[in-house]
Amino acid sequence: MASLLRTTPTHLLRSSLVSSRRAALPFLQTRSQSNGPPLANTPVSNFKAPNAPSEEASALKDSNKPASFLGTTKRLPEFNLHGKVVLVTGAARGLGLVQAEALLEAGATVYALDRLAEPSEEFLRVQKRAAEELGTTLHYRQIDVRDVAGLNEIVKSISDSQGKLDGLISAAGRQQETSALEYTAKDANTMFEVNITGSFMTAQAVAKEMIRWGNGGSIAMIASMSGTIANKVHSLLPPPLLLPPPADHKSQGLICPAYNASKAGVIQLARNLAAEWGTHGIRVNTISPGYIATAMVEALFEQYPERKRDWPTQNMLGQLSVPQQYRGAAVFLISDASSFMTAADLRIDGGHSAW
């Protein structure tokens, strides 16, 4: 070998070594020639998610054997909510119901609490799907979160019947758009009773049961980006006389001082509950959505069409969110995927608050 090195020109030796490496590792040659991925990582066209394993497919047909494609032993098991009992307030419809369905898909047994005498038709669809497709159950309990005695009774009865309580998503809330100069004390107190005190008392009732069973748990409260920022609005006063008044100067933006204050309270409340209950293994976090295109907001756009035009321009993605975009956040916060996360605010607002 020494003589070969002494007698062979350097450029021929280098060429011989490269050729031998290419022969041993053909994917390197392919990559260098095509400047694309190696053969071992060829892109797959028309990719579709694989079917659930056969044992899960059969379990999905039996409501006594809950199954979940996501959360199996080989597929992100930390997201698995099988055997978990989770309460969701404000889940008769809207964002609360969408998040309840996500929890069901992850395998949880879900109890929806809402003040409506009857849940929405969409709720009935989700309830039917839970039993027939997801192998779990969705229940409904009517309660106003301001009824503290009734709330405690319902939460304890659920806990007793299930022998545990693992999670809560506090999504019950109230919104009212009124200028600060016109807000009444009665309306402001109602806002705070539902959004702050109602969330507080619900979390308290659930935490008592979690502590009673000694298994810890996770609580997620729905706050808002408006709990951190003041929504941009045009002046409610007419512009100077020298300038022509814009046609929409009184209606553009979102004017809800009590609501924003209540959501700020929810964020701070969660931090304090997390500090007190962490020793019991209870985590408390908040989700702060941006503008959501719900049925209620769509009706608002009919009254203020300029909002439908302008609101999407106020975030970095240039669009409004939909309730389905918060499904993953609910599962993440309730599951063990967020096991080291507490006293945090998960802001999902398309970058609105970061300008």
Residues 250 and 236 sit within 8 Å (Cβ to Cβ): yes
Let me know if 148 is exposed, middle or buried by CB neighbors in 10 A (0-12, 13-18, 19+).
Answer: middle
Backbone angles phi, psi at 328, to 5 degrees: -65, -35
Please count the other Cβ atoms lying within 10 Å of the Cβ belonging to residue 248: 15
For this structure, is 263 an active site residue? Answer: yes
Lay out the sheet containing 217-222: strands in order across.
Answer: 138-142, 109-114, 85-89, 167-170, 217-222, 282-289, 345-348
Give the chain's length. Answer: 355
Residue of 84, 111, 259, 291 with catalytic role: 259
| Calpha distance 250→238 (Å, rounded) | 8
Cα–chain-centroid distance for residue 128? 23
* DSSP bridge pairs for 286: 221, 345
Return the structure tokens found at 316.
């970095």
Q: What is the dihedral of CA 324, 330, 336, 341, to 10 degrees?
A: 120
For 163, residues 6+ apart whose C-beta sits below 8 A from its C-beta are 213
| Calpha distance 30→39 (Å, rounded) | 7
Considering only CA atoms, which of 287, 337, 339, 331 is closest in space to residue 104? 331
Residue of 263, 291, 304, 326 with catalytic role: 263
For this structure, is 259 an active site residue? Answer: yes
Enumerate the active-site residues.
259, 263
